């Protein structure tokens, strides 16, 4: 790099960004040759921080005009290229160096970078959209638009033959994470500005679009829907580049409002224009599923998968056409009692994104309900390549949580045969856990007929004083409307945190959710086993001591298991669970949290108890499928 030839200038506008700015500027080190920062009135040390990174800082008064503020900085840029970022963004470490190479292609007018928008609290995946972020430094190219500044339009106006290129460079944008939004009240500010812009330019549909987005983020879905519809009025689908987004957002609003028929219509209308947009196929599938038309829903999800990742010109949500669609397709087949096909698609979902947990839970649960332990063990062994002992432990935990004790034993035995010493040490406790749980749950081969008479009589003596008595509440009539369609969880966001690290095909994406909680602490298997031992001790004790806190997690197993051989113990378990179920929300944060955790465990215990009773009925002729359907509808363990 010659001393006085600058290739890339970073231009930014900031105000009170001390928290995020350093991260951003660190990420451009070595990539850009000049940094120009326009500050509109910081009071928190932002200016000093910027200067410490070598930036030239211009102070300017803030008058509500984003474009104007940016343009002030452009005047001082000396590089051949202008790169612009926001303070709450960060260049991706793995791909940023490509910018220097791309900058050598001077025949290109502008480069699109892939902005990954993280929303929620970070665990729910990202929406990805390609945006123009690096362009030739030309005096005629200036930003337009007060709130959402545009540069592509002005460029094309001045240079009709301009060439653009979509790069692979990724920009991580954290600005809409919940806590950040709350801290800066960005949503309301944007909304005010947008409403002002609409008053000034009533015909500009882009403002309505953005207003809709802000309303949606604030949870005002009806208003968002109205704004999107206004934006879509009379639109020329072929000409407006973000028109597909309008359709998608409109469909999303209708889904959140549970207006499934309309959502379906909206998706289908959109598909007439954008047949290659997997998000719309996925939305169509979700709506059909909610309407109970599972077969057609499966077809829609399959179409989404056939397309795969959306073509570059679409703003797509992470997982559309890949792991989300595969997951839903699995759920459709599960509901049709087609376990093998469902298992395949759950495995596919994990293949797309190795950190997913929900498909694994569903897979194990489904196989447990249809009572096929060997099939499950075999399936896991052949379909999942576990890269580390930690991954194996996580999977073992899931199998245990879902009650797949026999499958766990079978699979572990096979795996231990080929395992190294380190792994063997970590996995052995799980084998013991599997056996212990099988014993406690009474599923180790013994039938229920042994419980006749004695168990029954003992229980009836205390009939009136059952541990659950005195709940006090009467259940409100129809407290919830009966479920739409089949009541699939509309929560399409799959947790990526604390993932397993199963073999995934998209290693290049630099999956940010790495395997957490495995940094050499006590092995989870050993910890759990210890907790179980202590629980068994408590169970066999004389009843004076309170339940050890670590044993709480074992209550579901204790409640639903065969404890009729120690009926006093069974009563104690019930008493403990009953107390937990009495927990209520509270103003005191600590008490509230404790009560909430108690309810979670208590509810899980009841689900486990119900599942056990149902499992025993499943053999009755003519009821097998009906009961399986009930068991698969039970709330999921491992969430919440």
Partner 1 sequence: MLLGIHVLACNEEDVLGRCLQSVRGLADEIVVTDTGSGDRTVDIAKAYGARIVRAAWEDDFAAARNAGLEAARTVWVLVLDADEWLEAGYDRTSLRRMLREAQEDGFSVRMESRYGHEANETLSHEAMRLFRADCGLRYAGAIHEQLVRPGARKIAVDGPLCGLRLRHDGYLPEMMARKAKAERNLRLIGKALREEPDHPFHLYNRGVTLCQLNKPKDACAAFALASLFAPADAPYRASLVRDRAKALLAIGDADGAAAMLHREVDRYADCPDVQLAYGDSLMAQRRALEARGAYEAALAAGAAAGGSVREAGAGSFRARCGIAAAEAALGRAEHALRAYAAAAAEAPRYGPALAGWAEQLQAVGENDEAIRAALASSLGEAAPGDAALLARVLGGIGAYAAALPLWREAKPLAPAEIRAYAAALAGAGDAGAARALLLGWLEAPRSAKSVGAAETETAAAVEGTAANRRQTDAGFEHAREGVAADIAQQLAAGAMAEKVTQMQTQAPATARQQHPLFAALCADAALCGWEAGMPLGGTLREMLASAHGELAERLSAVERYAAPYVAVRSARTPGADAGLPEWLPFVGLLLERALELGLPRLAGRLAQAAPALNERYGVTLYRHGYAQAAAGRLLRGMEQRAPGAEESFAFGEILLLKGLYGEALSMFEAAMPDEGVGARAKLGAAFCSLALAREALLPWAERATAEFGGGWPLADLEQLQLAIIRTEATGWRTPWTAVQRRRMNVGEHEADHALHDR
Site for partner 1 in 48-87 (CB under 8 A): none
Per DSSP, what are the bridge partners of residue 113?
131
From 25, 251, 7, select the one nearest 136 (Cα to Cα): 7
Q: Is 319 exposed, middle or buried (0-12, 13-18, 19+ CB in 10 A)?
A: buried
Residues 462-481, interacting with partner 1 (CB under 8 A): 462-464, 466-471, 473-476, 479-480
Q: Is 177 in the site for partner 1 (CB under 8 A)?
A: no
Q: Which is nearer to partner 1, 219 or 311 (CB)?
A: 219
Cα gap 560→494, rounded to integer Å: 28
The secondary structure of residue 150, as a DSSP letter, is: B
Q: Which is nearer to partner 1, 550 or 600 (CB)?
A: 600
Span interacting with partner 1, options 99-107, 202-210, 355-363, 484-492, rule CB under 8 A: 484-492
Q: Which is nearer to partner 1, 421 or 481 (CB)?
A: 481
For the chain, the maximum distance between any two Cα atoms, rounded to a whole number of angstroms, is: 95
Q: What is the nearest approach in angstroms of partner 1 to the Cβ of residue 451?
A: 6
Q: Which is nearer to partner 1, 114 or 560 (CB)?
A: 560
Q: What is the nearest approach in angstroms of partner 1 to the Cβ of residue 252?
A: 8
Q: Which two tokens stand for residue 26?
A: 């660190």
Residues 276-335, interacting with partner 1 (CB under 8 A): 292-293, 295
Q: What is the nearest approach in angstroms of partner 1 to the Cβ of residue 394?
A: 22
Q: Which is nearer to partner 1, 269 or 469 (CB)?
A: 469
From 262, 198, 258, select the one nearest 231 (Cα to Cα): 198
Residues 178-237, interacting with partner 1 (CB under 8 A): 219
Q: What is the nearest approach in angstroms of partner 1 to the Cβ of residue 193?
A: 25
Q: Which is nearer to partner 1, 139 or 295 (CB)?
A: 295
- CA 388 to the chain's CA centroid: 23
Q: What is the nearest approach in angstroms of partner 1 to the Cβ of residue 177?
A: 15
Q: Are strands 126-136 and 81-84 parallel, antiparallel or unpaired?
A: antiparallel
Q: What is the nearest approach in angstroms of partner 1 to the Cβ of residue 482?
A: 6
Number of residues that bind partner 1 (CB under 8 A): 76
Q: What is the nearest approach in angstroms of partner 1 to the Cβ of residue 620?
A: 5
Q: Are strands 8-14 and 89-91 parallel, antiparallel or unpaired?
A: unpaired
Cite the DSSP H helix spans in 159-220.
Answer: 178-184, 186-200, 205-217
Q: Which two tokens stand for residue 233?
A: 């009025």
Q: What is the nearest approach in angstroms of partner 1 to the Cβ of residue 586?
A: 11
Q: Which is nearer to partner 1, 163 or 450 (CB)?
A: 450
Question: How distant, in Å, are the alpha carbons of 153, 216, 237, 253 from that of 234?
Answer: 21, 22, 9, 20
Q: Please report which helix (H) or strand (E) contains residue 145, including its range.
A: none
Residues 617-636, interacting with partner 1 (CB under 8 A): 617, 620-627, 629-630, 633-636
CA angle, 574 then 589 then 498, to 5°: 75
Q: Which is nearer to partner 1, 272 or 623 (CB)?
A: 623
Buried-state track 99-112, b at ≥16 Cβ within 10 A, e below 16: bbebbeeeebbbbb
Residues 490-509, interacting with partner 1 (CB under 8 A): 490-493
Q: What is the nearest approach in angstroms of partner 1 to the Cβ of residue 481?
A: 8
**Per-residue contact track with partner 1, 234 to 273, x per CB under 8 A?**
------------------x--xx-----------------
Q: Which two tokens stand for residue 394?
A: 């996580």
Q: What is the nearest approach in angstroms of partner 1 to the Cβ of residue 249?
A: 12
Helix (H, G, I), strand (E, B), or coil: what is residue 136? strand
Span interacting with partner 1, options 147-155, 361-369, 438-446, 488-496, rule CB under 8 A: 488-496
Residues 423-462, interacting with partner 1 (CB under 8 A): 448-449, 451-453, 455-457, 459-460, 462
Q: What is the nearest approach in angstroms of partner 1 to the Cβ of residue 321?
A: 19
Q: Which is nearer to partner 1, 407 or 576 (CB)?
A: 576
Q: Which two tokens stand for residue 330?
A: 């699995």
As a dihedral over the C-alpha atoms of residue 494, residue 496, residue 499, residue 503, rounded to 10 degrees, the angle is: 80
Of 487, 541, 543, 548, the one binding partner 1 (CB under 8 A) is: 487
The secondary structure of residue 314, as a DSSP letter, is: S
Residues 389-408, interacting with partner 1 (CB under 8 A): none
Helix (H, G, I), strand (E, B), or coil: what is residue 91? strand
Q: Which is nearer to partner 1, 14 or 339 (CB)?
A: 339
As a dihedral over the C-alpha atoms of residue 79, residue 112, residue 129, residue 228, rounded to 10 degrees, the angle is: 90
Question: How distant, in Å, are the alpha carbons of 446, 562, 568 from that of 439?
Answer: 10, 8, 18
**Per-residue contact track with partner 1, 123 to 152, x per CB under 8 A?**
------------------------------
Phi, psi at residue 217, to the nearest 5°?
A: -65, -30
Q: Is 375 in the site for partner 1 (CB under 8 A)?
A: no
Residues 93-112, interacting with partner 1 (CB under 8 A): none
What's the number of CA atoms in the CB half-sphere (13 Å) around residue 244? 23
From 284, 349, 335, 293, select the one nearest 499 (Cα to Cα): 349
Q: Which is nearer to partner 1, 212 or 602 (CB)?
A: 602
Spatial neighbors of 523 by CB under 8 A, at least 6 apart, are 393, 425, 426, 429
From 44, 41, 36, 45, select the one nearest 12 (Cα to Cα): 36
Q: Is 483 in the site for partner 1 (CB under 8 A)?
A: yes
Q: What is the nearest approach in angstroms of partner 1 to the Cβ of residue 464?
A: 6
Residues 580-619, interacting with partner 1 (CB under 8 A): 581-585, 596, 599, 602-603, 606-607, 609-611, 613-614, 616-617
Q: Which is nearer to partner 1, 273 or 468 (CB)?
A: 468
Q: Please report which helix (H) or strand (E) contains residue 405, including its range.
A: helix 405-418
């Amino acid at each position: 790099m010659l001393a006085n030839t600058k290739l890339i200038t970073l231009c930014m506008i900031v105000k009170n960004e001390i928290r995020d700015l350093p991260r951003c500027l660190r990420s451009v080190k070595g990539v850009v040759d000049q940094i120009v920062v326009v500050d509109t009135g910081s009071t928190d040390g932002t200016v000093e921080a910027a200067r410490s990174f070598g930036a030239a800082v211009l102070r300017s008064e803030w008058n509500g005009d984003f474009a104007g503020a940016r343009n002030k900085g452009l005047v001082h840029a000396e590089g051949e290229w202008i790169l612009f970022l926001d303070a709450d963004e960060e260049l991706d470490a793995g791909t940023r160096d490509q910018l220097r190479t791309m900058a050598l292609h001077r025949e290109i007018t502008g480069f699109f970078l892939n902005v990954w928008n993280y929303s929620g609290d970070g665990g729910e995946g990202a929406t990805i959209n390609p945006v123009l972020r690096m362009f030739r430094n030309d005096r005629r190219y200036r930003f337009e638009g007060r709130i959402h500044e545009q540069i592509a339009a002005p460029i094309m106006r001045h240079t009709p033959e301009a060439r653009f290129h979509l790069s692979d460079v990724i920009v991580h944008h954290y600005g809409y994470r919940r806590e950040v939004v709350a801290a800066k009240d960005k949503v309301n500010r944007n909304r005010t500005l947008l409403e002002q812009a609409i008053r000034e330019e009533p015909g500009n549909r882009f403002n309505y679009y953005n207003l809709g987005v802000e309303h949606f983020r604030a949870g005002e879905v009806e208003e968002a829907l109205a704004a999107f519809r206004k934006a879509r009025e009379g639109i020329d689908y072929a000409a407006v580049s973000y028109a597909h987004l309008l359709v998608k957002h409109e469909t999303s609003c209708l889904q959140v409002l549970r207006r499934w028929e309309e959502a379906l219509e909206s998706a289908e209308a959109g598909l007439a224009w954008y047949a290659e947009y997997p998000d719309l196929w996925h939305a169509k599938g979700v709506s059909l599923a909610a309407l109970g038309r599972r077969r057609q829903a499966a077809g829609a999800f399959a179409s989404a998968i056939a397309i795969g990742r959306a073509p570059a010109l679409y703003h797509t949500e992470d997982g559309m056409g890949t792991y989300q669609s595969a997951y839903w397709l699995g759920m459709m087949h599960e509901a049709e009692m087609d376990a093998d096909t469902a298992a395949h698609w759950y495995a596919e979902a994990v293949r797309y994104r190795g950190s997913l947990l929900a498909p694994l839970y569903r897979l194990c649960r489904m196989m447990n309900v249809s009572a096929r332990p060997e099939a499950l063990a075999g399936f896991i062994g052949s379909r999942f390549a576990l890269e580390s002992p930690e991954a194996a432990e996580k999977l073992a935990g899931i199998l245990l949580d879902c009650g797949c004790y026999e499958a766990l034993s079978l699979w572990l035995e096979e795996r231990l045969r080929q395992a190294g010493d380190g792994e063997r040490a970590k996995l052995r406790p799980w084998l013991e856990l599997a056996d212990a749980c099988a014993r406690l749950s009474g599923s180790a081969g013994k039938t229920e007929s042994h419980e006749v008479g004695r168990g029954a009589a003992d229980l009836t003596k205390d009939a009136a004083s059952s541990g659950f008595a005195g709940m006090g509440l009467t259940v409100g009539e129809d407290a919830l409307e009966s479920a739409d369609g089949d009541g699939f969880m509309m929560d399409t966001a799959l947790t990526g945190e604390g993932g397993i690290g199963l073999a995934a095909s998209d290693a290049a994406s630099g999956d940010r959710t790495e395997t957490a909680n495995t940094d050499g602490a006590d092995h989870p298997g050993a910890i759990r086993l210890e907790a179980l031992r202590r629980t068994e001790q408590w169970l066999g004790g004389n009843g004076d001591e309170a339940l050890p806190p670590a044993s709480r997690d074992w209550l579901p197993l204790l409640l639903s298991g065969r404890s009729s051989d120690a009926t006093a113990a069974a009563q104690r378990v019930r008493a403990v669970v009953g107390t937990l179920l009495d927990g209520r929300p509270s103003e005191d944060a600590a008490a509230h949290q404790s009560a909430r955790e108690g309810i979670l465990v208590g509810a899980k215990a009841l689900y486990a108890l119900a599942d056990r009773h149902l499992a025993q009925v499943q053999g009755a002729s003519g009821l097998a499928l009906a009961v399986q359907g009930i068991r698969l509808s039970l709330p999921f363990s491992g969430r919440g």
